[in-house]
Structure 1
Amino acid sequence: MNICLIGMPSSGKSVLGKMLAKRRKMTFLDLDTLIQKNTGKLLREIIAEEGREGFLRLEEETGASLSVENTVIAPGGSICYGEKAMRHLQKISRVIFLDIPYEEMLKRIGDPVKRGVAIPEGFTLKDLYEERTALYRKYAEYTLEERGLSSGACVQKIMQYLDSAE
């Protein structure tokens, strides 16, 4: 069974995903990296050229067509908008929401545009956070509250959850 880590940009999907994959002897797959490899473009270039909707369509198609086994999957933060992708990820993996407080995300995120964050026109980062958090909760089978936890402690909690769920 695969593991899929969802959450806001800077919630630790890649960092925790790599640590988790190593601990569980699994492969690690970063969906943003896969999209960039497939298109030969950075996420921010795709968003600039195709617009937010075009990027979200591409992200959803990529997520919905994943065929992997024994893999920790780290999709981009906006994957939650692609219902087809999320339903597929729920079928092929255990979906875990990495929940970080808004203030912590602000500290970690840096420049959202350079990072390739797909923000709807007229939205603040706080609006985006609130909208996505509701979607992450909808799709996740487990929510990890990261507040005050080190990376190692986060991975430990995920491992405990997975061991109890098997």
Structure 2
Amino acid sequence: MSPFNTISLVGMPGTGKSTVGILLAKLTGLRFVDTDLDIQVREEATLQEILEQHDYRYLRQVEEDVLLNLRLDHALVSTGGSVVYSAPSMARLKSLGPVIYLKTELATLEERVAAAPLRGIASDGEQSFAQVYAERTPLYERYADYILVTGDNTPQQVATAALQLLPRN
């Protein structure tokens, strides 16, 4: 079992937060929470549909509301990529346990996002993916307790590396 009440994963879309999160939850004995899924359930729409019906500001507000009200005890939390725009959400996550930033190179992320283009990225439609990456990276780094460079590692390797970053007791 994990010595932590909660472990949170942050990072850009395409870093593998959900995939790595499930594996890390199994390794730590924590339940898995994917806040993107909770947003979709609450709104009865995909992230992309929410963006099309409203805008990125609305999605970010829903994300903050979900994160501030969701039960997060004994959980491995995979967050949406825009969570770092909400200081209250990040304060809550950090108060519950360590925050791990899954850092992936821009070129790798662009390839992954191109393979699944309708991902519902909560950003100004005028910004390129590279601009969103440049804007968010300092925020992820500021809030992270640990930065894990994912490289070309498999999700299992990233999950194992994340577990090794965390103190044992």
Say yes or no: TM over 0.5: yes
1:8 match: 12
Contact 1:64–1:86 (CA under 8 A) maintained in structure 2: no
Number of residue pairs matched? 165
Deviation at 1:122, TM superposition (A): 2.2
Deviation at 1:157, TM superposition (A): 1.4
Deviation at 1:55, TM superposition (A): 0.9
RMSD value over aligned CA atoms?
A: 1.5
Match among 150, 154, 157 for residue 150 of structure 1: 154
Name segments (4+ residues, structure 1) moved above 4 Å. none
Contact 1:29–1:71 (CA under 8 A) maintained in structure 2: yes
Determine helix, strand or coil for the equivalent of 1:163: coil
Where do 5+ consecutive residues of structure 2 fail to align? none
Contact 1:119–1:125 (CA under 8 A) maintained in structure 2: no
The sequence identity of aligned pairs, in percent, is 29
CA–CA distance in structure 1, aligned partners of residues 77 and 54 of structure 2: 24
1:34 paired with 2:31, answer no
Determine helix, strand or coil for the equivalent of 1:143: strand
Q: Which amino acid aligns with 1:149?
A: N
Normalising by structure 2, we get a TM-score of 0.92
1:79 match: 83
Determine helix, strand or coil for the equivalent of 1:110: helix
1:138 match: 142
Normalising by structure 1, we get a TM-score of 0.93
CA–CA distance in structure 1, aligned partners of residues 57 and 116 of structure 2: 17
Determine helix, strand or coil for the equivalent of 1:28: strand
